[in-house]
Structure 1
Amino acid sequence: MAENLIVDCGVPPRTAWRLASELSLDVAAHQFNTLTGDPRAGMRGTRIWEYEQWPERGVRPTITALRVLAQVYGTSWKSLLGLRDLEQLPAKDLAEYHADVEPAAAPPAAAEELPYPARAVARVEPGPDADVGAGSLDDAILLTKTNVDDVQLDDLWSDLDFVGGAYTRTAPDSALSQLAVVGERTAALLRGRQRPKQTQDLLLVGAKCASMMAWIAGDLGRFRLSRELNSAAWLYTQYADDFLARRWVRTSQARVAFWAGSGVESAKLAADGLNYQVGGRLTDAPLILAEARGWSSVQAEPQVLDAIARWTSIEDPELGAGGEDRFFNITKDRRHYMAGTSLLSVGQASAALREFKTAREAHEKLSLENRWGAMDPMIRIDTGRAHLRLDDLEGAAAQVEPLLIADVGRQPDMVHAMLKVLADELSGPRWRNVTAARNLAEALLDAQASARP
């Protein structure tokens, strides 16, 4: 029946096998937890549904989770993967898929048949030589006891991926609260006992969670909290000793430092992040552009142009939103916006306008769920600033006038800050005696003030 659903009806394998087993999502989750013999595993029907949606969306199931689900459905774990799944599997999982030889189907196993190590360890009775190494075996066996399993780790990673992917359409306060829960769960697990690999995984979760929280707190203008969170994230990375984690944190630190007013520090943090080579999972573009933006704050034109040139040489116009690190791998519209702001700050107004035009086109091509809400007002504000540098007041007004009737109250702190920058430039010596410029400056300041809670 499952094969008919897959072949004739086009139903994805994991859904097909569950339906063929006549199990609801919640019943399948209950049997999953029964098989693991660990009530703390906490498999839920919603998580199984997310497994079934992958790879188009949802969450990638771990090999361990697939093995348990296969026993629930009475099949082999490899039967739960289709061709589309195999194309998206990480190399390690794909190698295990090809290396594992198992029957196509197996009868459902009872919970006690699952080959999990027993959690209760009987103490070895001392013999005549109990005084020599007494208790050593018991102490070693303690290493097999753990308060963490693959399901819990997968759940933590999935929650991070979900919040990271949803941040473009989620209020920053809400995202920060969701991440705080993940951080608390991670810290609670770290206080228990894990095997070394599990401890490192938890440290990586902690590093990514804290750096994401720092990034979002910076968007809210809470820079003291941002720095504390980034310090915590860096401490996690030091114990995890992982290059990708260090790159996550440096990316967040560079962003927070820039918006907190420390441009040179931002540039140096971004440059250091580039020293941690991670093989493409987190591209160089965000850090190179952060380096350019940091130097632009002190009008260091040679450093800015050098960074922009390095970015241009590696820019991939097809690189879109997606992947496990999409929170840090910024989209094309944001990449070109960052390039434009850096060029504008060193007097390259015409080049900046070209970048802003590309940024707007890329932004409009994104699906609504992948658009960052602050991107449109930021592009408008800085495009307006570029027009001012070219003595085009009408062009500047055309860009920012839509913001005067929009509700920017929920926008990140950086939007309010840039409204103030543009208003100040309109009030500067070049435009001070131009009535239209004064009126526009006052309207921008009014919009900024009314947006405040």
Structure 2
Amino acid sequence: METEPPLFQILVNQKGWQEYEVFKRRYQDAARELAETEGPTSLATAPPPEKRQFVRWVHGEVKTTPRTEARRILQFMFPGVPIGRLFARASATNSSPGLREARESVSEDQFDYGAEDVVMAAANESARFAARAEGSNVGPHTMEQLEADIRRIVTNYPNRPVGPLFREVRALRNRAFEFLEGRQPPQYTRDLYVAAGVLCGVLANASFDLGRYEAAETQARTAFMCGELAGHNGLRAWVRGLQALIAYWDGRPHDAVRLAEAGGHFAPERGTAHIRLASIQARAYGQLQQATDAIAALNRANDMRDQMTAGDDLPGGMMAFPEAKQLFYASSTHLWLGGNQHLSDAEARADEAVSMFEAAPLEQRRLGEMSLARMDLSMARLSRGDLDGAALQVYEVLGVDARRRTESVRKRVQQFGRHVALHPARTTPAARAIREAIVAHQEQTPAELPPGGSQ
């Protein structure tokens, strides 16, 4: 019986990478992109496999799995295909399950492991064809498709892994830039600047979630510039809020206050951008221990919420500021201020926020924000001596964060661990267990969360 080739050979042949020099270039490109989106930066200069090693991979002559760097790059190049499966041989017999379908169609294998990537790739191909068919740089169909893609991205962002989404947003932003560099009808120029600004804003938020603050600030500056060129107050106010949020998490509360105030100069026609600015400002004032200013900012946010009559003029999703998010910003403010009354208020606001996040449909839950609300709740409970109640929330956070990592959640979990280490109950079995769980979590390699999943 003829021996079938390994899946790696099938994949490189179908992608047109069977020549070593072609594969080498693709490998190096993937390494650079992976370094930029997920890190570490050293991946950008990871050496490609030697030609003799590539030949062994093609022929299935693999005795040991590749080194860690190479495994990550190969998984990036062939999304959804486990390393063990990548180098295994296909079989035409029923006695070798798991690989025989690969000889017929790589797309079937990708549907097993990365259905969304394949489906979106096909959709993007159709969108590009439609753009060419319009016969001009930008037409109504192109704009409609671009706006639909943005709505989908900002809607899905809160419950999808950040790294893979970053790559998709970057490609879409590049398309928006290409449109702007062309010659489009004047009525589309403003809309393109808004679209490009929103996408840069999403990339800024994603860079921030990945812990790359400098990159986030660069993306945010470009997003703000696009808002300026479009004359769009909603976008300008939202970006100033994002810049203030980055400063807050970077330990620069004075900058956070200043940027939030600057955002208030742009008055969007409707929406939640100013509620968000006031809430961010309240947290920064709390960090500065300026209780009067912090409470005044919380009250302004509440008043604006009561007076709001229409939804956002931005595409919603991650760019909206729902009431649940406002509540946990208030809980963070009260935690900073400390004292029995503020701790009681922090626990009440965080508990209400968690309940509201949990009430949302599974596919619409804001996983990172819900985790931060749980961390506020855990800190409030720990501060009043309820270690068991605090640990319960942290265990929930660790389960979600193992599959959708963000920098802000990582910082809060570390902060909780430090507080437990200093807590009077630090020697109890419950305290030791939660500290060990936090350490184990920090040592784990992040797993990807399927779209919409939270369990």
Q: TM-score, structure 2 length as denominator?
A: 0.63
Superposed counterparts of 1:24-423, under 5 Å:
40=131, 42=133, 147-316=137-306, 324-347=315-338, 348-403=342-397, 408-423=402-417
Residues 39, 172 of structure 1: CA spacing in aligned structure 2 closer, same or farther, 3 A cutoff?
A: closer
Query: Is residue 394–residue 413 contact of structure 2 (8 Å, CA) maintained in 1?
Result: no
Unaligned runs of 5+ in 2: 1-126, 448-455
Query: Is residue 266–residue 291 contact of structure 1 (8 Å, CA) maintained in 2?
Result: yes
Distance, in Å, in 2 between the alignment partners of 1:156 and 1:288 is 31
Query: Is residue 41–residue 149 contact of structure 1 (8 Å, CA) maintained in 2?
Result: no
SS at match of 2:265: coil
Residues 399, 321 of structure 1: CA spacing in aligned structure 2 closer, same or farther, 3 A cutoff?
A: farther
Amino acid aligned to 2:322: T
Shift of 1:432: 5.3
Shift of 1:263: 2.5
Query: Is residue 291–residue 337 contact of structure 2 (8 Å, CA) maintained in 1?
Result: yes
Query: Is residue 371–residue 397 contact of structure 2 (8 Å, CA) maintained in 1?
Result: yes
Shift of 1:161: 0.9
Unaligned runs of 5+ in 1: 1-32, 44-118, 120-145
Distance, in Å, in 2 between the alignment partners of 1:270 and 1:340 is 19
Distance, in Å, in 1 between the alignment partners of 2:446 and 2:414 is 13
Distance, in Å, in 1 between the alignment partners of 2:309 and 2:132 is 36
Query: Is residue 197–residue 226 contact of structure 2 (8 Å, CA) maintained in 1?
Result: yes
Shift of 1:336: 1.0
Amino acid aligned to 2:390: A
Residues 168, 438 of structure 1: CA spacing in aligned structure 2 closer, same or farther, 3 A cutoff?
A: same
Distance, in Å, in 1 between the alignment partners of 2:223 and 2:396 is 39
Amino acid aligned to 2:256: S
Q: TM-score, structure 1 length as denominator?
A: 0.63
Query: Is residue 407–residue 451 contact of structure 1 (8 Å, CA) maintained in 2?
Result: no
Larger radius of gyration: 1
For residues 284-340 of structure 1, give each alpha carbon's deviation from its aligned partner in whole angstroms, at most 9, with x where no partner exists.
222211111222222222221111111222335999998723321122222211111
Q: Which has the higher contact order (CA 8 A, sep 6+)?
A: 2
Query: Is residue 299–residue 346 contact of structure 1 (8 Å, CA) maintained in 2?
Result: yes
Distance, in Å, in 1 between the alignment partners of 2:424 and 2:133 is 64
Query: Is residue 241–residue 260 contact of structure 2 (8 Å, CA) maintained in 1?
Result: yes
SS at match of 2:137: coil
For residues 150-189 of structure 1, give each alpha carbon's deviation from its aligned partner in whole angstroms, at most 9, with x where no partner exists.
2222221221111001112321122222211221111111
Distance, in Å, in 2 between the alignment partners of 1:393 and 1:254 is 32
Shift of 1:248: 2.6
Distance, in Å, in 1 between the alignment partners of 2:292 and 2:406 is 31
SS at match of 2:326: helix
Residues 448, 300 of structure 1: CA spacing in aligned structure 2 closer, same or farther, 3 A cutoff?
A: farther
Distance, in Å, in 2 between the alignment partners of 1:402 and 1:317 is 35
Q: Percent identity?
A: 23
Superposed counterparts of 1:430-449, under 5 Å:
430=424, 436-449=430-443
Distance, in Å, in 2 between the alignment partners of 1:333 and 1:317 is 17
